[in-house]
């Protein structure tokens, strides 16, 4: 009886697999990032901000809406060291470092171009953790990218060069608000189910 139940269960699972459409995809990635805190306008005599050791990692979920178009969302963690150099006052000044930690939730459209390429982009919801000396990056930003993918069985390897602008619409508005701008390359692995 037990063997018969296992055989029936295997046949049911196999039949679902035969008719499945693989409408969902889950991806994990790591990203190399070059980022800068930029301002609109110039503040004479202001300090300097240099970002070092920037990287990101995260998880993406894609839901197919049509043969070529998918909705892409997930969670992204960005980490950077910001070297802050105070404005010159005539006496020696010491630089210091602060951590920039940003959690982002992208809501992208992902459009396939042929079998191996795609473009993705849309708004990003950002939340910065901690109180730092620079303007908060919490707010609504945007991102756009173009990527390449290679599929084998249900697995996908992909590379996604991208551009992101954070705090395009900040939650806390400042005069001459600093906005994190980044160029990055995400490398990841996905699984369709």
**What is the rounded CA–CA span in Å between residue 142 and residue 38?**
15
pLDDT confidence tier of residue 74, bands split at 50, 70 and 90 = very high
pLDDT confidence tier of residue 19, bands split at 50, 70 and 90 = very low
User: Beta strand pairing status for 139-152 and 117-129?
Assistant: antiparallel
Higher pLDDT, 146 or 131: 146
pLDDT over threshold 80, residue 85 = no
Query: 133 in the Ramachandran plot: left (φ > 0), alpha (ψ -120 to 50) or beta?
Result: alpha
Domains of the chain (ranges; CATH) run: 23-192 (2.40.128.100)
Higher pLDDT, 174 or 172: 172
Higher pLDDT, 17 or 24: 24
Token pair listed for 60: 């993406």
**Would the pTM of this model clear 0.85, i.e. be above it?**
no
pLDDT confidence tier of residue 2, bands split at 50, 70 and 90 = low
């Amino acid at each position: 009886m037990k063997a018969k139940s296992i055989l029936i269960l295997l046949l049911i699972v196999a039949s679902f697999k035969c008719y499945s459409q693989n409408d969902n995809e889950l991806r994990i990635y790591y990203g190399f990032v070059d980022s800068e805190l930029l301002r609109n306008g110039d503040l004479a005599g202001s300090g300097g901000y240099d970002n070092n050791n920037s990287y990101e990692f995260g998880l993406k979920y894609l839901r197919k809406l049509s043969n070529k178009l998918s909705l892409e969302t997930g969670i992204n963690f960005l980490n950077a060291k910001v070297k802050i150099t105070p404005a010159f006052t005539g006496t020696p000044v010491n630089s210091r470092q602060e951590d920039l930690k940003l959690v982002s939730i992208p809501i992208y459209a992902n459009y396939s171009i042929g079998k191996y390429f795609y473009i993705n982009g849309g708004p990003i919801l950002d939340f910065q953790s901690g109180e730092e000396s620079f303007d908060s990056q919490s707010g609504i930003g945007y991102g756009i990218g173009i990527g390449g993918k290679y599929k084998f069985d249900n697995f996908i390897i992909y590379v996604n060069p991208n551009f992101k602008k954070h705090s395009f619409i900040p939650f806390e508005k400042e005069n001459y608000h600093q906005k994190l701008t980044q160029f990055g390359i995400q490398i990841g692995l996905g699984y369709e189910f």
